[in-house]
Every structure is written in structure tokens, then in C-alpha cells.
Amino acid sequence: MPIGVSQETVDTAIEFCKKLGKSPVKTKDTPGFIVNRLLGPLYMDAAQMILEGTATAEDIDTAIKLGAGHPMGPCELADFGGFDIIQMAQDAVFNYTHDPKDKLNILYRKMIEAGRLGRKNGKGFYDYLPDGTKKPFKIFG
């Protein structure tokens, strides 16, 4: 239980979330909580594979969707959330853990510097076209 928070407050918050149709989970109050702590390494490894030329963003996404049953691959999901949000979350996790594995991959910083934030501006690992389609952005070549 968080310091200075009563069990009654926790129970009230959980019930409120349930009334909103949500499925609350309990976690320690740390940067990234559960989802961002688990997604961070996936995002960083996908970016590193792209930098190394191991696979394209499209191939990574296809492999994760087909091989792991995820509804979106990590590059699509990164585009959906936004690279600037990933940067803030990953920097917060790294500042908390000081673990090198939690450091933001340089590809995200370079994409942000290039004005590629993801779906929010139509430019990420994919270019989102006005007709609703997307095409892979060629990072190299």
C-alpha cells in the first residue's frame, strides 16, 4: 500500500475504476508502472534490430503479430503512443533504475529530432496517409 494512503482510499479508487468499466490492477508506485516497464525493452529491442539491419519495422511487427499473437507489433504500437511519450516514459524509468537496458534507444531520439512522432503527426516508423493507409518509412536507403 502506498505510504500515507489508507486502505479505504485504495478500495474507493478500485471501485471507482470498476464503475467506469475498467479492470484496475495494483502496482508499486514506480516510473513506468507495469505496462511501460514491460513495453520499454520491447520498444528498445525493436529499434536496435532496425538500427542493426536485422529486420525492418514492418517485418518486426508482422513477426510479433503472427508469432506472439499481439494485435499490434512494437513499431506500430510505438507509433500509436508517440515517440515523445516513449521518450518521457523511458527516461523516467532509466532515471529510476539506472539500468543500461532501460536507456532510450538513440533511434527514438533521432526520429523525434527529425519531427517523426508517430501517428499524432502522421510520421513514425510508418507514414500515415490521408486515405487511412500507411506505408513503411525507410529509415535506411
Q: What is the largest CA-CA distance in the chain?
A: 58
CB 82 within 8 A of CB 119: yes
All structural domains of the chain: 1-30 (no CATH), 31-136 (1.10.1040.10)
Amino acid identity at 78: A
Cell readout for 106 is: 538513440
- The grid coordinates of residue 111 equal 526520429
How far is 45 from 41, CA to CA, in rounded Å?
A: 6
For 116, phi then psi, to 5°, come to -100, 105
pLDDT tens, position by position, 77-113: 999 999 999 999 999 999 999 999 999 999 999 999 9
Could you read off the pLDDT of 22-41 as tens digits, one per residue?
Answer: 999 988 888 889 998 999 99
- Rounded to two decimals, the pTM is 0.87
In 3D space, the residue among 103, 107, 63 whose CA is nearest the CA of residue 83 turns out to be: 107
